[in-house]
Amino acid sequence: MTTETQERELTDGFHLIIDAMKANDIDTIYGLVGIPITDLARLAQAEGMRWIGFRHEANAVNAAAIAGYLTKKPGIAMTVSAPGFLNGLVALANATVNCFPMIMISGSSEREIVDLQQGDYEELDQLNAAKPYVKAAYRINHVEDIGIGMARAIRAAVSGRPGGVYLDLPAKLMGQAMDAIKGQKSIVRVVDAAPDQPPSPESVKRALEVLKSAKRPVIMLGKGAAYAQVDAEIRELVEKTGIPYLSMSMAKGLLPDNHPQSAQAARSYALAKSDTVLLIGARLNWLLSHGKGPTWGGTDHKDWAEKKFIQIDISAQEMDSNVPIDAPLVGDIGSCVKALLAGLGDFQKPAAEWTGAIVEKREANIAKMAKTLDANPSPMNFHSALRAMRDVLKTRPDVYLVNEGANTLDYARSIIDMYQPRKRLDSGTWGVMGIGMGYAIGAAVTSGLPVVALEGDSAFGFSGMEVETICRYNLPVTVVIFNNNGVYRGCDVNPTGGADVAPTVFVKGSRYDMLMTAFGGVGVTVTTPDELAKALAEGIASGKPTLINAVIDEKAGTESGRISHLNPTSAATKK
């Protein structure tokens, strides 16, 4: 038998890893090459997979995470060992917190050397370092286990409550060889990775009883409802019941923000005055004031007894996390919503007294905000700049909007309406900064559609170098930076009068647009709403990498945006 024949009859870890992904319809990897995964990236590309290479691992992992959210298939990120792994870990943890299905695969040092702490190249116990921050973590030590290992990672990422998974690949695994026929037989195609989990009939009956007894009900849609991709059923439930609804930021567009039942512009009133809340894929965490207190119309724990909650979630552990849940519906969102629809019967829509009060409050708030938005100060501020963007994006409901920052995020989610589901991608549960370019790239690669990334100048700094990645792959991404020369504001001063600027201040007059032109994209600076609207429309229409440096009043903005109550102030400063 010749050497050539022997080689044809063997396969190795490199090939089997790629084979395992392709067998499960995974066609894209987001990552950053280096020892020991460079050849794996080359092979993936040679085998017809798409490799999207980044300048920092965190941004690659963020891209994979948002790809998982948009497709319901695990996004795949790949990093090198130790420092590369650690660079990606924050984004991996963020994916887990936000319930985005993804797998971060990292090369690693050999286990026997790590365990004895003998000082291997980039030595780190990555598996145990990852475990607290992921839904599951696995290591594959033998080439014949690659198929099973990949299958376990895929199922863990998408089943039940989705989340981040870590898969550890020691360097020597890649070169391990085995019989090619046996290798192909070891590959597993995952069947029914995320099966439906219908709620119990008793829980459906209980939920309907609570809902039908409500006088002032509200439906709260969370990003879990958007992830479920049962848009028609959720819309049918909202419209058949006639119940006013609110949307968490990434659920905006599940029903269009201009829907007649939307209570978005009357959010505070609806939450405070409601007597029953149906939570669909939304959690009663800090973003909803934990379901109690002044936000919900009360001041102490006695308020729990005065407001009833129905909660749909696939995890029973989520129930009663902050307040008692009167009617928990444990199951996948699609099955739960369909079960509620089937049991509605002759459901009596809420009285006009309740729905009319919400409409009246909503219209009053919209009229009040319109006066602020219609103002045209010079220099422009957040409101006038967002008015310009709102008007352009209204004509392009197909565009993905990625949004991060403090004030940039807070104002945009209440000013820019969304009309299609899963089009708004933002900082999510943790409110973490740095998701911007990763999410924008992931959305563009996954969909092929235009993406607008609306960034505060501070938030952009976390991932700004990825504009080179956007240009390298010629992605249809338009980045808009609200540049007010600093964090929150650019007008703070050093109280000592010293040479160092204040902690929140950046270089004045920064030309972020030149960063995009440096890599062959289109860069433009704008100073008025009209200039911003024109540049944005042109950027979207061109499909070319574009960066708009939108100069706004450096005094615009408030400390910590709308969560200033979480920002402690020095007692000495208060004196």
Phi-psi region of 178 (alpha: psi -120 to 50; beta: other; left: phi over 0): beta
Question: What would the pLDDT profile of 206-238 be if each residue is shown by its tens digit?
Answer: 999 999 999 999 999 999 999 999 999 999 999
Check whether residue 270 and residue 351 sit in a common domain. Answer: yes
Q: How do strand 50-53 and strand 28-31 relate by DSSP bridges? A: parallel
Check whether residue 344 and residue 455 sit in a common domain. Answer: no
Query: Which value, to the nearest 10 degrees, does the dihedral of the CA atoms of residues 231, 288, 393, 224 take?
Result: -30
Q: What is the reported pLDDT for 303?
A: 46
Q: What is the reported pLDDT for 560?
A: 72
d(CA 75, CA 32): 15
Check whether residue 413 and residue 546 sit in a common domain. Answer: yes
How many independent structural domains does the chain possess?
Answer: 3
Residue 63 has pLDDT above 70, yes or no: yes
Residue at which a domain ends, from 311, 328, 359: 359
What one-letter code names the amino acid at 89? L
Q: How do strand 10-12 and strand 177-179 relate by DSSP bridges? A: antiparallel
Q: What is the mean pLDDT of residues 245-259?
A: 97
Both structure tokens of 188: 């597993």
Task: Give 3-state DSSP helix, strand, coil % of the chain, rounded to 5.
Answer: 45, 15, 35
Q: What is the mean pLDDT of the chain?
A: 94
Model confidence at 571, in pLDDT bands (50, 70, 90)?
Answer: low
In a domain, 365, yes or no: no
Residue 6 has pLDDT above 80, yes or no: no
Q: What is the reported pLDDT for 386?
A: 98
CA 373 from centroid of its chain's CA atoms: 27
CA atoms within 13 Å, Cβ hemisphere of 215: 6
Q: How far is CA 127 from CA 62, 83, 117, 201, 311, in A?
A: 20, 14, 15, 41, 34
d(CA 382, CA 482): 8
What one-letter code names the amino acid at 405? G
Both structure tokens of 537: 């429309």
Check whether residue 260 and residue 179 sit in a common domain. Answer: no
Residue at which a domain ends, from 131, 153, 185: 185
3-state secondary structure of 301: helix
| For helices 13-23 and 38-46, angle between their N-to-C axes, nearest 10 degrees | 50
Q: What is the reported pLDDT for 112?
A: 80
In a domain, 163, yes or no: yes
Both structure tokens of 123: 């030595």
Question: What would the pLDDT profile of 292-342 be if each residue is shown by its tens digit?
Answer: 999 998 765 454 457 999 999 999 999 999 999 999 999 999 999 999 999
Residue 7 has pLDDT above 70, yes or no: no
CATH number at residue 347: 3.40.50.1220
Residue at which a domain ends, from 127, 150, 185: 185
Question: What would the pLDDT profile of 525-545 be if each residue is shown by its tens digit?
Answer: 999 999 999 999 999 999 999
d(CA 337, CA 322): 23
Check whether residue 94 and residue 131 sit in a common domain. Answer: yes
Question: What would the pLDDT profile of 404-421 be if each residue is shown by its tens digit?
Answer: 999 999 999 999 999 999
Query: Helical H runs in 256-306?
Result: 267-273
* Residue 216: domain span: 201-359
d(CA 71, CA 506): 38
Check whether residue 151 and residue 43 sit in a common domain. Answer: yes
- With CA atoms as reference, report the closest residue to 147 among 247, 20, 263: 20
Which residues, listed in sequence order, are joined to residue 300 by a DSSP beta bridge?
none
In a domain, 540, yes or no: yes
Q: What is the reported pLDDT for 202?
A: 98
Q: What is the reported pLDDT for 572?
A: 58
Check whether residue 22 and residue 167 sit in a common domain. Answer: yes
Percent of the chain at pLDDT exceeding 70: 95
Check whether residue 8 and residue 67 sit in a common domain. Answer: yes
In a domain, 193, yes or no: no
Asked if the bond preceding 132 is cis, omega within 30° of 0, the reply is: no
* Stated pTM of the model: 0.95
In sequence order, what DSSP letters do the residues of 233-265 get, joined into one string? HHHHHHHHHT--EEE-GGGTTSS-TT-TTB-GG
Q: What is the mean pLDDT of residues 147-154?
A: 98
Q: What is the reported pLDDT for 2?
A: 46
Check whether residue 77 and residue 160 sit in a common domain. Answer: yes
Check whether residue 515 and residue 394 sit in a common domain. Answer: yes
In a domain, 574, yes or no: no
In a domain, 575, yes or no: no
Check whether residue 313 and residue 258 sit in a common domain. Answer: yes
In a domain, 338, yes or no: yes
**């924008």: which residue's tokens?**
440
CATH number at residue 9: 3.40.50.970
In a domain, 368, yes or no: no
- With CA atoms as reference, report the closest residue to 545 among 451, 446, 426, 423: 451
d(CA 125, CA 194): 30
Check whether residue 553 and residue 496 sit in a common domain. Answer: yes
Question: What would the pLDDT profile of 518-528 be if each residue is shown by its tens digit?
Answer: 999 999 999 99
Q: By CB neighbour count within 10 A (0-12 exposed, 13-18 middle, 19+ buried), where does 290 fall?
A: middle
